Structure 1
Amino acid sequence: MHRHDADEETFLVLEGELRLQVDGESHLAGAGAAALLPRGLPHAFVVTSPQARYLTLHTPAGFERFALADGTPASSGDITPPGEPPPTRKRSRRRPDPAASTPWGRPSPPDDGTTVAPSVSAAA
């Protein structure tokens, strides 16, 4: 779990399914779903299908500074071939921009309160 203090995060699910946990509530988002996560709310996501493709948008701009400072650019040899599992993700221990993201904890396991909808919004 984490939260963004300076930006909204939007998930656009292209393939597969994600479970989004937003401010204590769980939502399933399948292909075609959009989820708006307002700034300041603790949230997390996990892929619940064998694989998924999704886009995340952060508005306003600025989150890319965190990704560039903390990430490693992929080379052509780093791309996972189709059908193979993705590599294990390294955990970041640094936060170059404190406004980018605040760690909050791990996502909770699914519970009976999970909702399924074509679009998810935690906005009030």
Structure 2
Amino acid sequence: MQIAKGISIGFNVAYDTEIVGEAVDMNNDVELVQLVEEIALQQPQIQSIDADYAFNASEDATVLGRRVQDHGGKAIYFILGADRTAGHHEAEFDFDENQLVTGVNIYSGLLQRLLGE
């Protein structure tokens, strides 16, 4: 904000700021990390898990997850690795769609355990 203030003084113009959004991080609940790890390792396609991987990004899901945690709930954000042809946000980006089945299996296993089915 100091830069904007300095420029406005230098050019003799007024400025106004309004925060309309934010990027937040989130700490996963440990018990959910352990549960996802257990379920994921039951999938034949999963060879390893890095529960300490630092994602270092903000997603809409982290905003929602933190709100859940702020209201007494538990939340987790995890990513499922897959072979890809290029980096994210590149025109050539594509990934191994077979991993979608693995993701569905992990989510359904998680729901079954959490709902006691």
TM-score bracket, normalised by the shorter chain, equals under 0.3
User: More strand per residue: 1 or 2?
Assistant: 1
Say which one has the larger Rg.
2
User: More helix per residue: 1 or 2?
Assistant: 2
